Amino acid sequence: MCGIFGYIGKRDALPFIVEGLKKLEYRGYDSAGVATLKDARLFLQKCQGKIADLERLLLRKPIDGNIGIGHTRWATHGKPSDENSHPHSDCSEKIAVVHNGIIENYLHLRRELAERGHRFSSVTDTEVIAHLIEEELNIKGTDLEHAVSRALKKLHGSFALAILYEGEKDKIVVARRGSPLIVGVAENETFVSSDIPAILKYTSRVIYLKDNEIAIITQDDISLKNLDGDTVKKEISFISWDPESAEKGGYTHFMLKEIHEQPKAIRDTIKDRIKLDSCQVHFDELNLTEEEIRNINRVVFTACGTSWHAGLAGEYIMEKFVNIPTEVEYAAEFRYRNPIIDENTLVIAITQSGETADTLGAVLEAKSQNAKVISICNVVGSSIARDSHGVIYTCAGPEIGVASTKAFTTQLAVIYLLCLHMGQVRGIINRNEAEEMIKELMAIPQKIEDLLQSEDEVAQIAEKYFHANNALFLGRGKGFPIALEGALKLKEISYIHAEGYPAAEMKHGPIALIDKNMPVVVLALLGRRYEKILGNIEEVNARGGNVIAIATKGDNEIKEKAQDVIYIPPTSSDLSTILAVIPLQLFAYYIAVKRGCHVDQPRNLAKSVTVE
Ligand code: M6R
């Protein structure tokens, strides 16, 4: 949801900002803008469209300076337009503000400001911030940081902000509450960014701003304060991600690169956590004692989107291996539902970004009711990781494609390891079983590599179905979350309407949709539910539908029942989710490419949803 990038140093700020915004474009891409300070004057350019449109504008109307801020927008208040693009200014046009988040009381503030004579040029919530700062600066003796802190005290809602002011030519003031913002510390220059990948090329040293903190960044110094003006200790963290991991590395799209990175991502996620000699699992920052694990009487997975699907898959194995009643809740529902939880409930929040507003809200709600909260998260130091009692990081590296792929499969791997650990602690899984489970998990990366060999076949199948307007995805048991995930992948990047269903539910309604134009993807893996799934396939065939089966290698029978078959290597049913989703990721990808869709930045979406 919107990307912010800022630069202060000795060099020209603009190339850094434009490059940074390109890296953040996955967060929002309906309009963009920049502001710089030079010779104590503020320069500002902005327009509707992508960063490429902004670049064209800047060629016609260049601006420069060693200090600047930029923004790429995902509209919340006001449609995408030149006027609603950031940065926003005050009446005197001396202040530039870029914002990510939502100011909930903006209408009230706007009314008051208008009554006091302020003129507005946009319909955004953000613009009130510029005018509030303007009023504070009009009070004699107030400098920018004090004006900002006073203005921020009047805001309800969430924000990450970067602010320039013509009256203070050597300063960027940034602040956050609820929306992410980091400060990248390099030699003689400082960067501000909504996310890590955009600054990786320049530095690995970052300061994570906490809620209600302000950073005052000048050419020579970075200082942190709270809203009362007290100095806050600066903590510099080191990012271990490789700068190359934020580049496309020869692939046409980040999504394709990230699909191919899954064997490595899973190896990196599991390798240091498995003790082969004792067949045990260890997590550094889980912060959950064996006694606490034994006392848990209920588990709640909570998440959004793809991460929610990982939770749904987790429910099956948590109940099987750990024998604890388990639920899966959409984070936005959980947080406002008055959930009945207590200190013996383990809430597991799953999130790639660690910044999803609904999931963060669910974590805070669970903590307020004394539940133990751990998160499964891909971004070290992110808000959800910090706000949980314990965290298990997925080591997927930066995921830049809006459609989640490697984050999902690494989440599944972590959930499997967590269940193994908890099952052992509770005496449900014995050593031999643990050994077998570990062996199966460690074989998964190689099996994904084998599976990726059939990429061309998946692309050919996609070619047959790319004209479809609707698609159905069916699965039973652990195939059900994968059916949901396959449908989500297809709809979000190809805009084909797709539904995921438990296969048995088809006959209770969706069967009415089936005809010769309707591809039906069926998770038909060998195992306990195989015969039942074959029955569902027959039902689709009897109504003229086209079945694409995801089947277990070696199953020849399925070829007679499905129009197309994609095989995955055999594995335990508990790990089949990781393998089965990969052809569905590729299927969605190739259909989207064939339809000419913008795979990495699908319309209306943003990578990290930091608003409710
Ligand atoms: O960063 P998170 O995992 O918390 O994000 C949750 C969802 O917004 C995310 O999974 C979304 O559904 C993806 N676009 C799916 O591909």
pLDDT tens digits, one per residue of 452-469: 999 999 999 999 999 999
**What pLDDT, on the 0 to 100 scale, is given for residue 337?**
86
Nearest to 476 by CA among 447, 512, 441, 500: 500
Candidate from 237-251, 295-309, 547-561 with smallest mean pLDDT: 237-251
- pLDDT at residue 357 above 80? yes
Q: Which position has the higher pLDDT, 608 or 231? A: 231
User: Nearest Cα to 67, choosing from 189, 199, 183?
Assistant: 189
Would residue 609 count as lying in a domain?
Answer: no
Cα 205 to the chain's mean position, in Å? Answer: 22
In a domain, 604, yes or no: no
Q: Where are the alpha helices (DSSP H) in 7-143?
A: 13-24, 51-60, 106-115, 127-137
Cα-based distances in Å from 323 to 318, 319, 386:
7, 5, 29
The model's pTM: 0.84
Q: Compute the distance between CA of residue 354 and CA of residue 304 in angstroms, rounded to an integer.
A: 11
* Per-residue model confidence as pLDDT tens digits over 169-184: 999 999 999 888 999 9
Residues 120 and 209 in one domain: yes
User: At 339, is the pLDDT very low, low, confident or very high (cuts 50, 70, 90)?
Assistant: confident
Average per-residue pLDDT for the chain: 95
CA of 506 to the centre of ligand 1 (A): 26
**Which two tokens mark 7?**
């630069």
Specify the residue for token string 């609603």.
84
Which residues sit with their C-beta closer than 6 Å to ligand 1? 304-307, 351-353, 356, 359, 402-404, 488, 492, 608-609
Beta carbons within 10 angstroms of residue 609's beta carbon: 18
Q: Could you list the residue range(s) of the whole structural domain that residue 162 is in?
A: 3-245
| Residues 123 and 203 both lie in one domain | yes
Taking the CA of residue 403 as reference, the ligand 1 atom at the shortest distance is 16
Residues constituting the chain: 612
Q: Are residues 252 and 239 in the same domain?
A: no
pLDDT at 607: 77
pLDDT given for residue 74 in this prediction = 84
Instruction: Verify whether residue 2 is a known catalytic residue.
Output: yes
Q: 519 and 455 in one domain?
A: yes
Instruction: Name the residue of 26, 194, 258, 307 to mutate for ligand 1: max ligand atoms within 8 A of Cβ.
Output: 307
Output the pLDDT for position 494: 97
Tokens at 528, concatenated: 């306990």
Give 452 Cα–ligand 1 centroid separation in angstroms: 23
Task: Report which secondary-structure segment, H or E, holds 275.
Answer: strand 274-275
If you measure from the C-alpha of residue 507 to the centroid of ligand 1, how many angstroms do you get, rounded to a whole number? 30
**Which one of 2, 279, 377, 395 is the catalytic residue?**
2
pLDDT in tens, 37-95: 999 999 999 999 999 999 999 999 999 999 999 999 988 888 989 999 999 999 999 99
Q: Which one of 408, 442, 476 terminates a domain?
A: 442
Query: Are 409 and 467 contained in the same domain?
Result: no
Ligand 1, residue 607: give the atom nearest the CA. 14
The pLDDT of residue 484 is above 80: yes
Per residue in 240-277, pLDDT tens?
Answer: 888 888 888 889 999 999 999 999 999 999 999 999 99
**Distance (Å) from CA 466 to ligand 1 centroid:** 24
Whether 302 has a pLDDT exceeding 80, the answer reads yes
133 contacts 148 by C-beta, under 8 angstroms:
yes
Asked if residue 475 lies in contact with residue 522, where contact means CB atoms within 8 angstroms, the answer is yes
pLDDT of residue 131: 98
The predicted pLDDT at position 245 comes to 81
Quick check: 160 and 179 in contact, CB under 8 A? yes
Say what the alpha-carbon torsion angle 252, 265, 72, 361 is, to the nearest 10 degrees: 150
> Does the pLDDT value for residue 28 go beyond 90?
no
At 168 the pLDDT is 95
* pLDDT, mean of residues 142-146: 95
Share of the chain above pLDDT 70, in %: 100
Are 224 and 340 part of one and the same domain? Answer: no
Q: Whose CA is nearest to atom 12 of ligand 1?
A: 305
- pLDDT surpassing 80 at residue 567: yes
Listed residue (349, 22, 339) closest to 197, CA to CA: 22
Ligand 1 mean position to 27 CA, how many Å?
Answer: 12
Enumerate helices (H) and strands (E) in the chain, giving the number of each. Answer: 18, 27
Residues 256 and 346 in one domain: yes
CA 35 to chain centre: 27
Domain boundary among 427, 442, 457: 442
- The candidate with the shortest Cα–Cα distance to 57, out of 70, 75, 66, 67, is 70
Beta-carbon count within 10 A of 508 CB: 9
| 10 catalytic residue (yes or no) | no
Element (H, E) at 162: strand 159-165
User: Quick one: which atom of ligand 1 is closest to the CA of 605?
Assistant: 14
Query: Tell me, what CATH number does 346's domain have?
Result: 3.40.50.10490
Q: Which amino acid is at 298?
A: R
- Containing 460, the helix (H) or strand (E) segment is helix 455-465
What was the pLDDT predicted at 296? 97
Nearest atom in ligand 1 to 305's CA: 12
**Residues contacting residue 500 through CB under 8 Å, at least 6 positions apart:** 473, 474, 475, 480, 483, 484, 485, 486, 487, 488
Contact indicator for 463, 495 with CB cutoff of 8 Å: no
| Amino acid 16: pLDDT | 97
The pair phi, psi for residue 100, each rounded to 5°, is: -125, 125
Does residue 603 register a pLDDT over 90?
no
Contact between 304 and 330 (Cβ < 8 Å): yes
Please, which residues bridge with residue 302 across strands?
A: 329, 349
pLDDT digits (tens, 9 = 90+) for 397-451: 999 999 999 999 999 999 999 999 999 999 999 999 999 999 999 999 999 999 9
Count how many domains the chain has.
Answer: 3
Indicate if the pLDDT at residue 338 is higher than 90.
no
Within-domain flag for 610: no
Catalytic residue among 94, 478, 489, 607: 607
Task: Write the CB contacts of 79 (distance below 8 Å, at least 6 apart in sequence).
Answer: none
Verify that 260 and 232 share a domain, yes or no: no
Strand partners, 177: 159
Mark which of 410, 442, 474 sits at the end of a domain.
442
pLDDT score for 29: 81
